[in-house]
């Protein structure tokens, strides 16, 4: 009887094994291997960004009220995790870490859970909320310069701010508190994610972000004594000294854009009845209505009126045909909303986008380029992997996926 393998077996007894003797001798994982997650609760700021971007819904949290504030237990389910490390990339405080530990075979579900507890203290430190008085300090210094911060957080320019609360309403993290009556603007350093939405929403450009030019604080200029021109311009629309809007009925087409964009809800426009009403108490004189009016039919603040237009009443009838321009209400026609693509790539909704650059910053493939100043949003088709991260982090839901 022939045993062809006996010779091979006997000769291999004293040879070194060609296999890794796992688990007797555990081997080391590759340098870039993404294994068991380690959560550092002491670094977590509870922005919940990791939950929002997790494609496998492997991250959850439970909040419980306590005497100290709020007890937040965050759990990572390794059984559902795809180990894409997107959560780690999005965490700006290094609270999530991927180790090279690949030993994740377990008989109990609890062994595949990584948990951490964070105590979110009640806003007792709101006592320094009186600190907003600090912004008043730079105001008197006429030669001072207000510069953007290096950490990406917003900076207020008190001399420009009208405290319209629009920045606070648009902040996706709820990090801003604006008191219109007390004229205070407070930033919660822990909640702010540096997205720049507040700066884009500000109608007065009173918020600086990295990349913006420093603003020199100027002493309030005394109003020039030009009351003589006011009576001559009685026939034209004259702005109010308190900065509140004035309508020009001859130019207005009652498209309702000003009412929709007013952050204080101080305007009421009836297209059918051709009426335009201003709520004096609600108006904060921010000038948003004037900037969005497509017909330039709103004037905010006193403006220099040309003295020559006095003899212009004669040609006025000739311009009467322009009343037929209500057909130019193109801006009021709702544009057809964009539709998702079939190839899984993202599509931008320009009507919703505020160009906060969050999508570009968080894109794991670097496929997006957003220019806040030029209001452009570009997608690199070759680099995009269709992961949907951009849609998940967009605070305005302006990306379809």
What confidence tens digit (pLDDT) does each residue in 145-183 have? 888 998 889 999 998 888 888 898 888 888 899 998 888
Residues 6 or more apart in contact with residue 393 via CB below 8 angstroms: 49, 52, 53, 90, 358, 359, 362
The span from the CA of 238 to the CA of 302, in Å, is 7
Reported in sequence order, the residue ranges of 130-196 that DSSP labels E, i.e. its strands, are 145-146, 155-156, 176-179, 184-187
| CATH architecture of structural domain 347-400 | 2-Layer Sandwich (3.30)
Token pair belonging to 75: 């759990």
The span from the CA of 257 to the CA of 86, in Å, is 40
Euclidean distance between the first and the last CA atom of the chain, given in angstroms as a whole number: 69
Name which CATH class applies to 238-303: alpha beta
CATH 3.30.70.3270 positions along the chain are 27-121, 238-303
pTM above 0.75, yes or no: no
pLDDT in tens, the chain (401 residues): 577 778 888 888 888 777 777 777 778 888 889 999 999 999 888 888 899 889 889 999 999 988 878 899 999 999 999 999 999 998 878 999 999 998 888 889 899 999 999 887 765 444 444 444 334 444 545 567 888 998 889 999 998 888 888 898 888 888 899 998 888 999 998 888 888 888 888 888 899 988 888 888 765 555 445 444 444 344 467 888 888 899 999 899 888 888 988 888 889 999 889 999 999 888 888 888 888 888 889 998 766 544 445 555 555 555 555 555 555 555 555 567 788 888 888 999 998 888 888 888 888 788 899 988 888 999 998 888 777 888 888 888 899 97
CATH 3.30.70.20 positions along the chain are 125-216, 347-400
| CATH architecture of structural domain 27-121 | 2-Layer Sandwich (3.30)
Fold of 125-216: Alpha-Beta Plaits (3.30.70)
């Amino acid at each position: 009887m022939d045993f062809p393998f006996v010779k091979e077996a006997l000769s291999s007894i004293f040879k070194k094994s060609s296999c890794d003797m796992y688990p007797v001798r555990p081997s080391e994982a590759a340098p870039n291997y993404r294994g068991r997650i380690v959560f550092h609760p002491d670094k977590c700021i509870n922005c919940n960004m990791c939950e929002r971007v997790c494609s496998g819904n492997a991250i959850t949290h439970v909040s419980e009220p306590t005497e100290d504030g709020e007890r937040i237990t965050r759990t990572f389910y390794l059984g559902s995790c795809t180990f894409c490390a997107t959560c780690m990339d999005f965490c700006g405080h290094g609270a999530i870490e991927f180790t090279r530990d690949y030993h994740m075979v377990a008989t109990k579900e609890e062994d595949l859970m990584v948990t951490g507890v964070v105590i979110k203290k009640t806003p007792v430190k709101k006592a320094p909320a009186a600190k907003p008085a600090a912004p008043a300090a730079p105001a008197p210094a006429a030669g001072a310069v207000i510069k953007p911060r290096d950490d990406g957080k917003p900076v207020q320019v008190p001399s420009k701010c009208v405290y319209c609360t629009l920045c606070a309403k648009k902040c996706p993290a709820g990090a801003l508190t604006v008191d219109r009556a007390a004229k205070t603007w407070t930033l919660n350093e822990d909640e702010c994610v540096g997205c720049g939405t507040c700066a884009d929403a500000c109608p007065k450009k009173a918020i600086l972000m990295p990349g913006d030019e420093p603003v020199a604080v100027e002493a309030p200029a005394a109003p020039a004594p030009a009351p003589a021109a006011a009576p001559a311009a009685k026939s034209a629309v004259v702005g109010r000294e308190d900065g509140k809007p004035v309508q020009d009925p001859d130019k207005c087409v009652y498209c309702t854009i000003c009412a929709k964009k007013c952050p204080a809800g101080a305007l009421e426009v009836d297209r059918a009845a051709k009426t335009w009403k201003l709520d004096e108490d609600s108006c904060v004189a921010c000038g948003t209505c004037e900037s969005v009016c497509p017909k330039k039919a709103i004037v905010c603040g006193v403006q220099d009126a040309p003295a020559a237009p006095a003899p212009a009443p004669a040609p006025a009838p000739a311009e009467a045909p322009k009343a037929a321009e209500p057909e130019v209400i193109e801006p009021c026609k709702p544009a057809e909303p964009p539709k998702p693509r079939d190839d899984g790539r993202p599509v931008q909704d320009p009507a919703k986008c505020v160009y906060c650059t969050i999508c570009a910053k968080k894109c794991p493939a670097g496929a997006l380029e957003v220019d806040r100043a030029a209001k452009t949003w570009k997608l690199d088709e070759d680099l995009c992997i269709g992961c949907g991260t951009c849609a998940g982090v967009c605070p305005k839901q302006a990306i379809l996926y």
